[in-house]
Amino acid sequence: MSLSNTKFQGAGVMERQRKRAKNLRELTGRFRVLIIGRANAGKTTILQRVCNTTEQPKIFNREGHEIDLSQLNPNAERGEHNIENEMIFESNKAFVFHDSRGFEAGRRSELDKVKDFVQKHSMETYLRDHLHVIWYCIPINDEARPITRAELDFFDECGTGRVPIIVLFTKADMLDAQTMELLVNAGMDVEDAEIRAPEESEARFQKNFGHQLYKKKYPPKGHVYFRDMQNPTSDCGELLSKTAANLSDDTILQLFLTVQKTFMSLSIEYAIRR
């Protein structure tokens, strides 16, 4: 096959992908994400990276009315969110985010809300109202107690059906200092230890703690480590790739590829596969 024919076929693939994407947007238009995590888990920063913005999201209630953040109960500032509220960023209105504050030992109310939310959205008539993925944020800067008992219980009790759960281990860079010290004490020079620390930190954490989640009744479909998220150049490419790889069917996958705009190479990769 000639080079010109290859280019022509490639252009045809991309054109078919654009038409399919347009049809999906018209039929569905929204990709719905539930993000779960404690107040210090870095959730907002991650969503900003996904939507390529530094702005705060607008909040809408179930009826579609925008909520004036200045009128919220002060408790809302401490993470007492209404899981039904929709968070939407102006930079990408096709992503719809719902927020759960995470779980505490001995308190079942939030876990029950999540279960009800997942079940309700699984029975919605239209695809745009379904829940498509759950991102569960767990900050691991506290190595003494990185994964709480309540978080472990979630993966034993909350079956989500066809909705995949991706775990986001955030603040992984906070483990690097201790890892560097261990490597230097083992004989590695400081410069090499600094280079090696990120990979070693994640490997140590996965061995000591992260693997526990995969032994539960309802394990996650995958996990991603986040570090240096305060750096404006950090991105969510791995999260988007992991999400795409675990979506339940082709229609939802194509919707996701249509909606996400920050990692275009991912959309191109899947377009070529088709």
The mean of the pLDDT values for the chain is: 85
Q: Rounded CA gap, 111 and 118, in Å?
A: 11
| Burial class of 24 by CB neighbour count within 10 A (0 to 12, 13 to 18, 19+) | buried
Strand partners, 31: 95
Measuring CA to CA, which residue among 182, 168, 171 is closest to residue 37? 168
Average pLDDT, stretch 42-71?
Answer: 89
Q: Are 262 and 49 in contact (CB under 8 A)?
A: yes
What count of other Cβ atoms lies within 10 Å of the Cβ of residue 141? 14
Q: Would you tell me the crossing angle of helices 250-259 and 264-273 to the nearest 10 degrees? A: 150
Reply yes or no on whether the pLDDT at 14 is more than 80. no
- The 10s digit of each residue's pLDDT in 58-97 is 999 988 889 987 665 555 543 347 899 999 999 999 999 9
120 bridge partner residues: none
154 closest CA partner among 101, 205, 115, 118? 115
pLDDT bucket at 8, cuts 50 / 70 / 90: very low
**For residue 19, what pLDDT is reported?**
59
Which amino acid, 227?
R
Q: Residue 233's pLDDT is what?
A: 79
At 98, the pLDDT band (50, 70, 90 cuts) reads very high
Domains and CATH numbers, the chain: 27-174+218-273 (3.40.50.300)
Whether the Cβ atoms of residue 183 and residue 199 lie closer than 8 Å to each other? no
Q: Which of the two residues, 71 and 46, has the higher pLDDT score?
A: 46
For residues 235-248, average pLDDT = 93
- Region 202-210: mean pLDDT is 93
Strands (DSSP E) along 140-258, which ranges? 165-170, 222-225
Q: Is the pLDDT of residue 25 over 80?
A: no
Residue bearing the bigger pLDDT, 1 or 255: 255
Q: What is the per-residue pLDDT for 12?
A: 57
| Structure confidence at residue 245 (pLDDT) | 96
Percent of the chain scoring above 90 in pLDDT: 58
Residue 24 has pLDDT above 70, yes or no: no
Give me the mean pLDDT over the 145-170 stretch: 92
